[in-house]
Structure 1
Amino acid sequence: MEKIAIIDMGSNSIRFLVLEIADNRSYTLLYQEKETIRLGVGLAQSGYISADGIKRALNSLKMYRHIMSVMGVNKCLAVATAAVRSAKNGREFLETIKQETHIHMEVITGEREAYLGYLGVINTIRERDFLLFDLGGASIEMTLVRQGKPEKSISLPMGAVTLTERFQLQNTVHMDTLQACQKYIRKKLLTVPWLHNINIPLIGIGGTARTFAKMDQKATNYEFSKIHNYQLSLSRFTDIYEQVTTRTHANRKKIPGLSGDRVDIIVAGATVLKEVFALTASKEMIIGGCGLREGLFYEYYAQYFQLPSPQIENILEFSITNFIGTLGSAVHRIHCKQVTRLTLQLFDQLQPLHRYGRRARTLLMTAARLHDVGKTINFYNHARHSAFMIGHAPLYGLTHREQLIAGFIAGFHHGISRKTLIAYRYAQMADADDWIMIRKLSTLLALADASDLTYEQVVQDFSITIQDDIVVLVITSAPDSVHEAADYAMKQYIKQFKKEFHMSLVLIWK
């Protein structure tokens, strides 16, 4: 077992994570902290990190050092970005940190910062072609990704804090000042020819992107408060941008989702985003909650286990396996593997009947593998607990809606129940067609789960024949096995099968 701390000291804030890597290769986030330290304040004018900024950073780092000691952290990865690498007193500042906190902090280049952000995103979001940008307090890193691989990358020395100071955007913004800022940003971006009219999604990491997601979620009454992988259209961005840039400082504070420590720098950050949208001709921004810190972790994880690459090939498979690995013995892994195999057999052989494709199969697979995770909360009503846990688990490679649908499929694996619907607040995020699919797929999961009622893996295979309005399910059982309990359990879902598929189901054991 290994406990690792990660510190990311940026121009606006400092972030601290503690993760635990278990002997079974699963990892868990144990602790997270963020402080606003504003190292970038005054940097553009003086070239130096201010004494106040240094004091704020040291106070945070001393607290982190104490937490590491209390939690028994074995390894600390600490990096500093744009403010420190551009400050004239940056090296002196790092030496002070080492002397007063015993934390060795590495200043990373803009190129490495972009690469680590890429690792954090490519391992947690399914997109393959996108422009990744990380807008910080003093710089913006951008990476063009095609077919999942980084093609081009650049770091430009402009960020939310430094632009705010340069154009005095803290308070009420005048149109001529805003236009001057826009012109300055556009001129910087135009020096990057590979940005022009790429017309692919943006993926934004950093505080400004996350704040836009929070404001949009509040404005649209989006009930699912998860930020990572939230999708924001250009039209929705434009609506919020108009609010942010036309309100007085006092009225900006009233915008739901805009935190008080970002009110003064949001105009500059928003203006950068607007110009990136315009130059790239992108129509959508996906917000990444994972970035540089997660990239550092995946890089370390790959080295720790001597993996060939820190880039994960199948991020959904990896995250499901990791989640299961963190749950202990409450989840019967052999049973879940058996149920998943048989559920997918039913899905594949009934495809002419339900006509769902590969993505639906993926959601069903996710639900089947995790259908019993609710037992870690309470055995009773565990299907409902599973629905909630799957919906909120750190699963990557699914959209918000897909993850909730997978949770609902699992939530009905003991039969379709209004109690589950009433107990689960996100029901309206699935539309009417989704609910038809959920009911059908949960019926297949329920049948497969019933076939392993005794956890003995009695069933070897399913074979289906569709004749007129009858589905004949031939069940091959293991030699010398007793299948009466499984047969009884499966027959409880014959009525539900007919209701959902409008076909009679006949079970034949062989």
Structure 2
Amino acid sequence: MITQREDYYALIDIGSNTMRLVIYLPNELGRFREVENVKAVARLRNHLNDDGYLSKDGETILIDTLSDFKDVLKIYPLSHFTCVATATIRQAKNQAALVKKVKAELDWEMEILSEEEEAYFGYLAVVNSTSLTEGITVDMGGGSTEVTYFKERKIIHAHSFSFGTLSLRRMYQYEEAEKTSLDRIKRYVLEQFETLDWLKNRAVPLIAIGGSARNVAQIDQVDKDYPMAGLHQYPMLKKDLDRIQDQLLSLTLKKRQKVEGLSKDRADIILPALTTFITLHQFIKADRFVLSQKGLRDGINYALFFKDKTHPYSPNVLEDSMQELVNDFNLDLKQIFQIERLARTVFNALYSHKMKGVNKQDWQVLNRAAYVFNLGEYIDNESSAQHTFYLLANRTIDGLSHRDKLKIALVSSFKNKTVFKQFTRPYKSWLTKSERKKLRLLGALLKFIYCLDATKRQVVTDIDVEVKRKKIKLTIYTKKNAAPEIYQAEKQKKHLEKALKRDLVLSFVRK
């Protein structure tokens, strides 16, 4: 349903392989919620002739696809519209004529991004949507491949290579085995990488952007029966890339088109892309391969939002993402701050007494979970734990790895030991037994603290914690009648007692 708001942003990305129309709603945090995404597999690169001109057929595909996008846009009240083109239009000798044609036919200004701009926007997307402070990005399109190196979140180097998946595919010689063609591609891209001194032996994460990288991650998730939804910040190792390459190389093109996780329209170009990723991974000695779902289009949006700021990136990606959750689910900030304050008091006491091995990193998990505890109540109160876990485990939370996201989901959704075990069952290999025990303790603690603000009146002013050999005494000070809080705390303390293996003695004192 289209709202009556008039601040929709529309962005058309004319790539070498695909063309996309994406419509967003921005918020005050500089984040953009995608409301529509229309894709067309145009493969304009294949219509760039030997003389370097986009052919008449290519022009027709370009204009017809943009006309279809214009029909979609009619129902959206826009406050901002951008139409950008990348490698194929940039490399076409008739680019000026194409710009004029788009203007004449559609009355749109088609902006042709420079190589530097294309690389920069990819970097900008990564630093605004992950917690990585250093890395190499690679954005492989149909007609070009952009790489950047950033450190302390600042871009240090950037480069655009004039090869992409479609141009590499043209290097195939069909009378020879596919592996032989891929070996030729490997030698070619390695020669290109060797022209950049700043790429070699960086030993940092390789962050991949774009449709080919996304398909590689999807195949890996299917192969591993990955229990968590979402691709952003999905990590892989080189052995995963090698395994997928071997798997796809063993299949005919027809069978490759049926591989789950691989888009049919990418079946013929996925191996040139994989070969490039593996070669670059080896060249930079990457410690891991990480997928970024955020790319060129997101980078353009971030540049727009941060254009008047000191730095073109958010000072704290995770904090912004957590705040977005608070906004989306109408969570009560006063209650969040109350829970956070009381939880800190009890946690500090456990930490100072070295109870159950809690450490400073555990406070980070508990603190983040306090922001979103029981948010599933927004959907249904009776099954709030299930909704909380599902939403947090499967929603993209920028700045959090999948493993850290799981930890927060488990703590925030804690109901009891039985439900906790149900939630952890698909993820047993992700966490050690001691980690699971620790998260259960943090969940039980958070649930207990939540009971101390059961009526959302912030009646509890302070807590004194006295740790003894067999019990823990909590003196809880209140400023009003706290009967509902007393009832809930007494009812729920058993979960914390079981996790701590000590009795909790509660004493409520009204000041």
Q: Normalising by structure 2, what TM-score?
A: 0.91
| Residue type at the aligned position of 1:317 | E
Residue range with higher mean Cα deviation, 246-255 or 85-94: 246-255
1:100-499 equivalent positions in 2, closer than 5 A? 100-168=105-173, 173-303=177-307, 306-327=308-329, 329=330, 331-351=331-351, 352-412=354-414, 415-416=415-416, 418-419=418-419, 422=422, 426-428=426-428, 430-431=430-431, 432-478=433-479, 481-499=480-498
Residue type at the aligned position of 1:215: I
Q: Which amino acid aligns with 2:488?
A: A
Residues 217 and 225 in structure 1, CA contact (< 8 A), matched pair in contact too:
no
CA contact (8 A) 1:44 1:166 kept: no
- Take 1:408 and 1:194, find their aligned partners in 2: how far apart are those partners? 41
Give the superposition deviation at 1:428: 4.3
Query: Which letter maps to 1:217?
Result: Q
Separation of aligned partners in 1, 2:454 and 2:154: 45
1:160 and 1:266 in contact (8 A); partners too: yes
Equivalent residues of 1:349, 1:463 under 8 A apart: no
Matched residues in 1 for 2:464 and 2:21: separation?
53
Moved over 6 A (4+): 23-26
Corresponding position of 2:82: 77
Deviation at 1:317, TM superposition (A): 0.8
Over aligned residue pairs, what C-alpha RMSD do you find?
Answer: 2.4
> In structure 1, what residue type is equivalent to 2:315?
E
Q: CA contact under 8 A between 1:252 and 1:263: conserved in structure 2?
A: yes
What's the CA shift for 1:42? 4.2
Q: 1:417 to 1:101 in 2, by over 3 A?
A: farther
Counterpart of 1:132 in 2: which secondary structure?
strand
Q: 1:420 to 1:441 in 2, by over 3 A?
A: closer
Which shifted more, 421-430 or 42-51? 421-430
Provide the secondary structure at the position in 2 that maps to 1:151. strand
Residue 16 of structure 1 is aligned with which of 18, 21, 36?
A: 21
Secondary structure at the aligned position of 1:452 is classed as coil
Structure 1 residues 174-183 or 200-209, which shifts more?
174-183
- Which amino acid counterpart does residue 381 of structure 1 have in structure 2? S
* Distance verdict in 2 for CA 1:184–1:214, change over 3 Å: same
Taking the aligned partners of 1:159 and 1:23, their CA distance within structure 2 comes to: 36
**What CA distance in whole angstroms lies between the structure 2 residues aligned with 1:176 and 1:394?**
39
2:497, 2:503 within 8 Å by CA — same for their partners in 1? yes
Deviates more, 1:246-255 or 1:4-13: 246-255
Q: Structure 1 counterpart of 2:475, which letter?
A: V
Structure 1 residues 39-78: aligned runs within 5 Å: 39-43=44-48, 45-78=50-83
Post-superposition offset of 1:316: 1.0
> Over residues 472-510 of structure 1, what are the superposed CA-to-partner deviations in whole Å (9 max), with x where a residue is unaligned?
2232323xx112321221112322222101122222334
For the Cα contact (< 8 Å) 2:25–2:33, is it kept in 1? yes
Give me the whole-angstrom Cα distance separating, in 2, the residues matched to 1:212 and 1:276.
Answer: 15
The 8 Å contact of residues 453 and 489 in structure 1, kept in 2 or not, is answered as yes
- Aligned partners of 2:417 and 2:116: how far apart in 1? 52
For the 8 Å contact 2:218–2:231, the answer to whether it is kept is yes
Stretch of structure 1 that moved more, 420-429 or 19-28? 420-429
- Deviation, 1:128, is 1.6
Question: 1:434-474: CA deviations, max 9, x gaps?
Answer: 32122101111111110001111011223323222222223
Mapped partners of 1:203, 1:22: distance in 2: 26
Residue 213 of structure 1, CA deviation: 0.5
Q: How far apart in 1 are the matches of 2:349 and 2:60? A: 65
The size of the alignment, in residue pairs, is: 501
Q: Secondary structure at the match of 1:349?
A: helix
**Residues 177 and 382 (structure 1 numbering): CA distance in 2 closer, same or farther, change over 3 Å?**
closer
Deviations 1:47-98 (Å, cap 9, x if unpaired)? 1223333333333322322322202122112211111111112222222222
Amino acid aligned to 2:343? T
Match among 23, 28, 36 for residue 31 of structure 1:
36
Greater CA deviation, 346-355 or 314-323?
346-355
CA contact (8 A) 2:126 2:295 kept: yes
8 Å Cα contact 1:464-1:471 kept in structure 2: yes
Q: Distance in 2 between matches of 1:195 and 1:472?
A: 58
Distance 1:172 1:423 in 2: 50
Once the two structures are overlaid, the 10-residue window that deviates more, 464-473 or 44-53, is 44-53
CA distance in 1, matches of 2:429, 2:389: 14
Structure 2 distance, partners of 1:498, 1:23, is 42
Once residues 15 and 425 of structure 1 are traced to their aligned partners in structure 2, the CA distance between those partners, rounded to angstroms, is 39
CA distance in 2, matches of 1:344, 1:54: 62
Q: Which moved more, 1:367-376 or 1:446-455?
A: 367-376
Shift of 1:426: 4.7
CA 42–185 in structure 1, closer or farther in 2 if over 3 Å, else same: farther
Cα distance in 1 for residues equivalent to 2:429 and 2:111: 44
Name the aligned partner's letter for residue 445 of structure 1: L
CA distance, structure 2, for counterparts of residue 15 and residue 421 of structure 1: 42
Asked if structure 2 preserves the Cα contact closer than 8 Å seen for 1:44 and 1:162, the reply is: no
Identity of aligned residues (%): 26
- For the residue of structure 2 that corresponds to 1:74, the secondary structure is strand
Evaluate the alpha carbon distance shift between residue 420 and residue 482 of structure 1 in structure 2; reply closer, same or farther with a 3 A threshold.
Answer: same
Any idea what SS the aligned residue of 1:345 has?
Answer: helix
CA distance in 2, matches of 1:106, 1:247: 40
Retained in 2: the 8 A contact 1:202–1:286?
yes
- What code does the residue aligned with 1:459 have? V
**Structure 2 partner of 1:505:** 504
The aligned amino acid for 1:500 is A
Q: Distance in 2 between matches of 1:24 and 1:314?
A: 11
Unaligned stretches of 5+ residues in structure 1 = none
Instruction: Flag the 1:249–1:381 CA change in 2: closer, same or farther, 3 A.
Output: closer
Q: 5+ residue gaps in structure 2?
A: none
